[in-house]
Amino acid sequence: MSKILSPDQIDGFRKNGYVPRVRVISKERAASIRQRLEEFERSAGAPFSAAVSKPLRANGHLLFTWLNELIRDERIVDAIEDLYGENLLCWMSDLFIKEPNDPSYVSWHQDSTYWGLSSPDVVTAWVALTESTKANGALEVIPGTHLKDQIPHRDTFAKDNMLSRGQEIAVEVDPGSSVMLELEPGEMSLHHVRLVHGSAPNRSETQRRIGFAIRYIPTHVRQLEGEDTATLVRGVDTFGSFQHEPTPAYDMDPECLSFRQRSAEKRQTFFYKGNDERAAG
Ligand SMILES: O=C(O)CCC(=O)C(=O)O
């Protein structure tokens, strides 16, 4: 018996590689998380993406208690359990923020390209903390592409590309076959690690678009590129392939800050493999 996802949603994930629109937290809770993020930005005097250095942009769940609570949220993790069973790690989290009138975009790509994980049993819960619409650059996916193997990518390091290497699929993608995953605050979509996806710039005048992308794996998945870290969010980890991450006792807990820095430094070596001069950037 599944916990949150219907049999049709589970079937849709297997066939199409994504699940659209699932309500996971209330609009009010999404608004309160957004408020805490914006309080941090005010105190830092800059938007999140500028307030933290590049390797620190990922894994906000090690910086803030309210993001750590979100990666463990019962409804979100129940949905992941419906797909991958009861022993689950959060491998990474990423805040994707597009400001109003922001040229930032995400090129068509497969997440699996530089992650170094041993299996495609990897799913992202993309949780909307604001509305995510056509106007402000919602996530778009190409259904069924997760059934392809790893597709070659080329690195562009394009200025406005939000990906680590500006990587894009090195073959023609038919944008006419894409599906836009519009969301209300507090809803999430799910996408498979091999699904081709991307997003356009935020063309709205006033609306920020904030998404928190949480990457989950079942505990049997390993990191092939070296030592790595993850947070156990459900069940037991009998494989022990990842060093388990600490939980911040309060925002900017120094123990978690330095753990996060060390983890990011290790990941840099494989995220930028073959492009070592970029690793410092
Ligand atoms: O937020 C976006 O527009 C892109 C997100 C993305 O590429 C991902 O979650 O893997």
**How far apart are alpha carbons 207 and 213 in whole angstroms?**
19
Residue 278 has pLDDT above 60, yes or no: no
Q: Mutation test of ligand 1: which of 106, 117, 141, 194 has the most ligand atoms closer than 8 Å to its C-beta?
A: 106
What pLDDT, on the 0 to 100 scale, is given for residue 57?
66
Q: What are phi and psi of 34, to 5 degrees?
A: -60, -40
Residue 280 has pLDDT above 60, yes or no: no
Residue 113: strand, helix, or coil: helix
The answer, yes or no, to whether any atom of ligand 1 lies below 6 A from the CB of 106, is yes
**Cβ atoms within 10 Å, residue 126:** 22
Give the dihedral sign, CA 187/37/92/142: positive
The residue whose CA is least distant from atom 8 of ligand 1 is: 213
What predicted TM-score, i.e. pTM, was given to this entire model?
0.94
Torsion, Cα 123 269 69 138, to 10 degrees, reads: -50
Over residues 109-161, the pLDDT tens digits come to 999 988 999 999 999 999 999 999 999 999 999 999 999 988 888 888 888 88
The residue whose CA is least distant from atom 6 of ligand 1 is: 198
The answer, yes or no, to whether any atom of ligand 1 lies below 6 A from the CB of 213, is yes
User: In Å, what is the CA distance from 20 to each residue of 71, 153, 197, 252, 267?
Assistant: 19, 26, 13, 33, 30
What pLDDT, on the 0 to 100 scale, is given for residue 54?
56
Under DSSP, the state recorded for 238 is: S
Under DSSP, the state recorded for 151 is: P
Residue 233 has pLDDT above 90, yes or no: yes
Over residues 199-227, the pLDDT tens digits come to 999 999 999 999 999 999 999 999 999 99
CATH for 7-271 is 2.60.120.620
The answer, yes or no, to whether any atom of ligand 1 lies below 6 A from the CB of 124, is yes
Axis-axis angle for helices 7-16, 74-84 (nearest 10) = 60
Distance 20 CA to ligand 1 centre (A): 14
Over residues 31-89, the pLDDT tens digits come to 999 999 999 999 988 888 777 655 546 899 999 999 999 999 999 999 999 999 999 99
The answer, yes or no, to whether any atom of ligand 1 lies below 6 A from the CB of 126, is yes
Structure tokens at 190: 């799910």
User: In Å, what is the CA distance from 23 to each residue of 76, 116, 173, 188?
Assistant: 9, 31, 30, 6
Residue 8 has pLDDT above 80, yes or no: yes
The answer, yes or no, to whether any atom of ligand 1 lies below 6 A from the CB of 211, is yes
The answer, yes or no, to whether any atom of ligand 1 lies below 6 A from the CB of 108, is no
